[in-house]
Structure 1
Amino acid sequence: MKKWLMVFMALALSACSSSEESKTWYQLPSSQLLTQSVASQGSRLLWVEQVAVPDYLAGNGVVYQTTDVQYVIANSNLWASPLDQQLRTTLVANLSNQLPGWVVASQPLGSDQDTLNVTVTGFHGRYDGHVIVSGEWLLNHQGQIIKRPFHVELAQQKDGYDEMVKMLAQAWGQEASAIAAEIKRLP
């Protein structure tokens, strides 16, 4: 009888450990990735040089804030590709959609380009059901430097990492819209 109990315990423990090891990979959804045609004369150029994230966001794990001072980096809910790359790719796509007459790229475009650098300091879910996207961006427009902080906070409609990632993408899209609106006001 003890032998069967030991076999049952071993099977139960192995079943638990295998389910704990399953991983879920997340990619930020892009609303509309578009292929931009080659610039015609008179097009304005914007190089999204960098989207930087701090070390706690640079790993594979999706980040969740559990209290006002504690953060957890998930072991089983992971980014499918580096977060800074995902943020840069979706920012380029969103700005391309929202800035007609501009060529927006993640590579240098020439000597007449404007340059955008973004530092993301928060990109996580929070214990109260909200997601936080915060940081600052710096735009070099014809030698003029424009610097703006940002903080977007949205409430999740449902629980879970899927919903959290979708809401983070929505908040990032809202910030892209704010950046585009600022760029449209440039001379």
Structure 2
Amino acid sequence: MMKWIPLALILAVTACSSTPETRYYQLPVAGSNTVVSSQTFSRPIWVEAVSIPDYLAGNGVVYQNNDVQYVIAANNRWASPLDQQLQQTLVSNLSRELPGAVVSSSALGQQHDTLNVTVTGFHGRYDGRAVISGVWMLQREGRIEKRAFMLDLPQSEDGYDSLVRTLSQGWQQISTQIANAINQQR
């Protein structure tokens, strides 16, 4: 019995000494595949806010374990607040998709279109898919257009790196949908 005590102590010390490495994630900005457009926009587009629910507002990347349970990762974290990353990448994506437009996260003068986005889902799921959902609202010259969005995308491989890349690709798709709607209104 006594010969097992040193082995148990070694195992206990080894188990306690290994702490998981914390990883930080930032949404990548899409490449420079500029959409060619001869259209110019008379009014700037102000991306006023991208709002997210409390469960996404923490530092941890969110993963859905089953139909009712969500886990906020302790060691896989956003490098900066997710709502800020979503707003910054949306401005960048729309600027690329609408090359004749001035798109900003700050109000530019008195005359501008205002875009607000509410993201309700931006997480991985137990079946290897990434979920992005919400609604966007564009206010332009007294008119308001509101559209819901829902993407359910497969991850190319397991892991948080793949999840963040898939979420970024989905956010790019949402940006393209918004840009197409703006183009139709002009």
- For structure 1, the residue ranges without an aligned partner over 5 or more in a row are 34-40
Name the residue aligned to 1:36: none
* 1:7 Cα deviation from its structure 2 partner: 4.6
**Paired residue type of 2:14:** A
Question: Is it true that 1:88 corresponds to 2:91 in the alignment?
Answer: no
Give the direction of change, closer, same or farther, for the CA distance of 1:166–1:185 in structure 2 (3 Å limit). same
Map 1:27-66; keep pairs closer than 5 Å: 27-32=26-31, 43-66=42-65
Identity of aligned residues (%): 53
**Paired residue type of 2:132:** V
* 1:138 Cα deviation from its structure 2 partner: 0.7
Name the residue aligned to 2:124: 125
Q: TM-score, normalised by structure 1?
A: 0.89
- For structure 2, the residue ranges without an aligned partner over 5 or more in a row are 33-39
Number of residue-to-residue matches in the alignment? 177
Counterpart selection for 1:9 from 11, 16, 29: 11
Aligned Cα RMSD in Å? Answer: 1.7
Q: Distance in 2 between matches of 1:86 and 1:180?
A: 18
SS of equivalent to 1:185 = helix
Q: Distance in 2 between matches of 1:11 and 1:95?
A: 53
- Check the 8 A contact 2:41/2:101 in 1, yes or no: no
**Paired residue type of 1:72:** V
Runs of 4+ in 1 over 3 A off after TM superposition: 1-7
SS of equivalent to 1:73 = strand
Name the residue aligned to 1:38: none
Q: TM-score, normalised by structure 2?
A: 0.89
Q: Distance in 1 between matches of 2:171 and 2:76?
A: 19
